[in-house]
Amino acid sequence: MGTRISLSIVHPEAEKLLEKASHLLTDYEARFSANNLKSDLMTVNQQAGVQPVPVDLDLYELIQIGKDYSLSSNLALNITIGPLVKLWKIGFTGARVPEQKEIEERLKLLDPTDIELDVDKKTVYLTKKGMEIDLGALAKGYFADKLKSFFQNEGVQSGLVDLGGNVLTIGENPKYEDGYWRVGIQKPSPVRGDLVGAILVKDKSVVTSGVYERSLKVNGKKYHHIFDSTTGYPVENELASVTIVSDKSIDGELWTTQLFMLSPTEAIHYIDNIPGIEALIITKDHDVKMTHGIAPYVVLF
């Protein structure tokens, strides 16, 4: 999945369960990847404008979730972003700033209403040739939630799933008397482990997304990998990173992406009014803003 993965659990048969979890992740990546030409998702993309493709229930479910959120968020999150991501290639070999004409051609392919889903046959059909679904904005959260369910069904009461920026805790941390897990918050910097602070959580998800993770610099201007699918360019605002604390990791994925379309003040105000969701935002000026509910559980260094 292009990131460092760490799984830790407390259980008498931990080694066996971790091996099974590793196989689950390998299976998810093989089927859900937008970069593997042999994946089930890429089969859907390759048949765009040709025919519907039957898929497994879990892939169908994630595409359905992605389509619903793409439409309800007014494209702040857009799973049909694939053609634009592959045009810019930010974070990959051959990254460049495309010509305006190229961008405009891709914008015609970014409409989630052009995804046709058949709930009975479990088929996915992209109605325009050249369309591509990219589940990168929510797949890791979905995988993390699936892993947590797997572990809990096996009797795990304490553990941690870390899918590179997506941290999901199970129960309490046995290493601390207070039972809280300390989840580090990365400074807006490409240097991993350079932290601005930590959030104390129990049985929660902590998801962080930032513009510093993958970028391209051309003629002194920096372009990041979080795109506005209405303009075809990376989103431009004062946000450097967004961290969401929630019960489910997929909610964290969805909200980190959606909030990048807002200003820091708008984002915090918005999340303050959503039960069960908390946010911590770092601006490009290194200002830290947070929702009221999370403030008592944040330690800034």
Q: What is the 3-state secondary structure (H, E, C) of 119-169?
A: CCCCEEEECCCCCCCCCCCCHHHHHHHHHHHHHHHCCCCEEEEEECCEEEE
Superfamily of domain 139-143+156-300: ApbE-like domains (3.10.520.10)
Domains in the chain: boundaries: 139-143+156-300
pTM of whole model > 0.75? Answer: yes
Would you say 140 and 166 are in contact if contact means Cβ atoms under 8 Å apart? yes
Indicate the residue type of 138.
L
Q: What is the pLDDT of residue 254?
A: 93
The mean predicted confidence, pLDDT, of the chain is 94
Query: pLDDT digit string (tens) for 251-282?
Result: 999 999 999 999 999 999 999 999 999 999 99
| Element (DSSP H or E) covering residue 220 | none
Would you say 245 and 201 are in contact if contact means Cβ atoms under 8 Å apart? yes
Pair type for strands 288-290 and 221-224: unpaired
Banded model confidence at residue 1, pLDDT cuts 50, 70, 90: low
